[in-house]
Amino acid sequence: MANNIAEKRRQQEEDDDEEDGDLDGWGERNYADERSWEALQEDESGLLRPLDNKAMYHAQYRRRLRSLSTASNSQRIQKGLIRFLYIVLDLSRAASVMDFRPSRMAVVAKNVEAFIREFFDQNPLSQIALVIIKDGVAYSLTDLGGSPESHVKALMAKLECSGDSSLQNALELVHEYLDQIPSYGNREVLILYSALTTCDPGDIMETIQKCKKSKMRCSVIGLSAEMFICKHLCQETGGLYSVALDESHFKELIMEHAPPPPAIAEFAIANLIKMGFPQRAAEGSISICSCHKECKVGEGYICPRCKARVCELPTECRICGLTLVSSPHLARSYHHLFPITPFDEVTPSRQNEPHRRSQKTCFGCQQGLVNPGNKPSLHVACPKCKQYFCLDCDIYIHESLHNCPEAAHTFPEFLVNFISHLRRPDFRKSSAVLLITAFCLH
């Protein structure tokens, strides 16, 4: 009798566990399949088909690439290689709203971390600082620096939302810091704003004019609705204002600020910048680093002017003020001035040309360019070497490699672009000196 009761109780517990598991699974499926209708599209015959996210992403990418290329070719655009960027994060109570899953704050933090790493990868000579807004006050989270790890670590330790947001206090704080930046650096502000209001202690219009006078370029990405004051700020300072529709759109918007923006014509003054190339400290040597005031063993770099030790590059020597960089930093900076031209889409008529029928694989990754059923997939061709590339290699070449692997073998593409730009009457002497050094080190 006792055994039967124990067996029934055990069976009941197992049934309860199965029901709980079913509920948990339903909750996960319900969360994963939310807004699943957006993953469908209607074809030519009126039937619903799964959305080809890869092709759609590539089409959007190529449209953006062509627009940037057209703007660069239609007018001679100067771009600053040394940027000083302040990222302002709105951590007021509006950042805890859960219209972005799991919350606006979590989405912003994740994408800011990715943006910081991408920014330093594309702009190795630039620096970033973080500012947060909460309780109507702006706080400086990190100082200007070139270490992505220190910025990410400081950000993840302060993710708390409270109080109201104050756009004016943030601009006043950032203006106080950026006003001391040397004239050769681009002064930029990127504001990630969650609130629909701003609680300011004074006239924000005067603050905006002060930022404009100091040559600050302010851009805003909103996570709620469009605000007039944010749009006015961007128009006055020459920045960009946009509102994110969802998480993927927000990621796309923030990553657009990683490449250097065009320099403001009236403020684009040629400057020669003195830089130092420090040597790595010998193993086993003991000295105090000038940046952290700590004793280090066999780590860091030695300033060539004052022999002070710093932990990482690029940075500015705390003792003599010399800008310290390494040769790869210069070599990785020139591609913004000479971007690779967009590849041409291969049309079906072009694929049937006799001398093209033999090209069945991507020149970059050697993957097949033919789908099941012997149908050619979407791919592109380099306008210089005429080689075919798949969509993934197209994105990799334009966003990471910045050179066609085949065209670069015929004649250094950088040298061709460099010679043509030297003939321009408006080419900056400071850029020429910097790029000659970069080419010699490349």
pLDDT of 200 above 90? yes
Query: Could you tell me whether strands 301-302 and 309-310 are parallel, antiparallel, or unpaired per DSSP bridges?
Result: antiparallel
Q: What's the confidence (pLDDT) of residue 27?
A: 42
User: Would you call 19 helix, strand, or coil by DSSP?
Assistant: helix
* 278 and 319 Cβ atoms separated by less than 8 Å: no
Q: What's the confidence (pLDDT) of residue 95?
A: 94
Q: What are phi and psi of 68, to 5 degrees?
A: -65, -40
Given its phi and psi angles, is residue 377 left (phi above 0), alpha (psi -120 to 50 degrees) or beta?
beta
Q: What's the confidence (pLDDT) of residue 432?
A: 43
Q: What's the confidence (pLDDT) of residue 288?
A: 82
- Torsion sign, CA atoms 290, 430, 326, 261: positive
The residue written with tokens 């003792």 in the block is 319
Which band of pLDDT confidence, cut at 50, 70 and 90, is reported for residue 366? confident
Tens-place pLDDT, residues 20-64 = 444 344 344 444 445 666 666 676 677 776 665 666 666 666 666
Q: What's the confidence (pLDDT) of residue 348?
A: 63
Q: Which residues of 412-440 are buried (b: 16+ CB within 10 A; e: fewer)?
A: ebbeebbeebeeeeebbeebeebbebbee
Which band of pLDDT confidence, cut at 50, 70 and 90, is reported for residue 173? very high
Cα distances (Å, whole numbers) of residue 81 to 178, 180, 187, 367, 398: 17, 18, 12, 36, 18
Detail the DSSP E strand segments found in 266-420: 275-276, 279-280, 286-288, 295-297, 301-302, 309-310, 315-316, 323-324, 344-345, 370-371, 375-376, 380-381, 388-389
The residue ranking higher by pLDDT, 387 or 412, is 387
Residue type, 73: N
Q: What's the confidence (pLDDT) of residue 188?
A: 96
Tens-place pLDDT, residues 371-403 = 655 566 778 888 888 888 888 888 888 777 777
* 100 and 110 Cβ atoms separated by less than 8 Å: no
Q: What is the number of helices (H) and of strands (E) in the chain?
A: 14, 21
**Which residue segments constitute the domains of the chain, with CATH numbers given?**
77-267 (3.40.50.410), 278-323 (no CATH), 335-441 (3.30.40.10)
Q: What's the confidence (pLDDT) of residue 189?
A: 97
Q: What's the confidence (pLDDT) of residue 219?
A: 97
Which band of pLDDT confidence, cut at 50, 70 and 90, is reported for residue 436? very low
* 241 and 193 Cβ atoms separated by less than 8 Å: no
d(CA 233, CA 217): 9
- Please give the DSSP secondary-structure letter assigned to residue 259: S
* 327 and 356 Cβ atoms separated by less than 8 Å: no
Q: What's the confidence (pLDDT) of residue 411?
A: 46
Q: How many CA atoms lie within 13 A of 279 on its CB side?
A: 7
| Mean local confidence (pLDDT), 84-96 | 95
Name every residue whose Cβ is closer than 8 Å to that of residue 180 and which is 6 or more positions away in sequence. none
Most confidently predicted of 141-150, 276-285, 341-350: 141-150
User: Which of 403, 413, 402, 351 is CA-nearest to residue 380?
Assistant: 351
Q: What's the confidence (pLDDT) of residue 130?
A: 97
The residue ranking higher by pLDDT, 136 or 341, is 136
Q: What's the confidence (pLDDT) of residue 36?
A: 65
| Mean of pLDDT over the chain | 78
Q: Say what percent of the chain tops pLDDT 90.
A: 33
Q: Say what percent of the chain tops pLDDT 70.
A: 68
Q: What's the confidence (pLDDT) of residue 273?
A: 79
| Mean local confidence (pLDDT), 435-441 | 43
Contacts of residues 341-344 at CB distance under 8 Å and 24 or more positions apart, as own/partner, are 341/69, 341/383, 341/384, 342/62, 342/65, 342/66, 342/69, 342/398, 343/380, 343/381, 343/382, 343/383, 343/389, 343/394, 343/397, 343/398, 344/380, 344/381, 344/382, 344/383
User: Which of 110, 85, 73, 58 is CA-nearest to residue 399?
Assistant: 58
The residue written with tokens 């330093």 in the block is 120
Q: What's the confidence (pLDDT) of residue 390?
A: 85
d(CA 134, CA 155): 14
Q: What's the confidence (pLDDT) of residue 383?
A: 85
d(CA 418, CA 439): 9
pLDDT of 154 above 60? yes
Token reading at 148:
């992505």
Residue type, 193: Y
Which band of pLDDT confidence, cut at 50, 70 and 90, is reported for residue 437? very low
pLDDT of 422 above 50? no
The residue ranking higher by pLDDT, 296 or 16, is 296
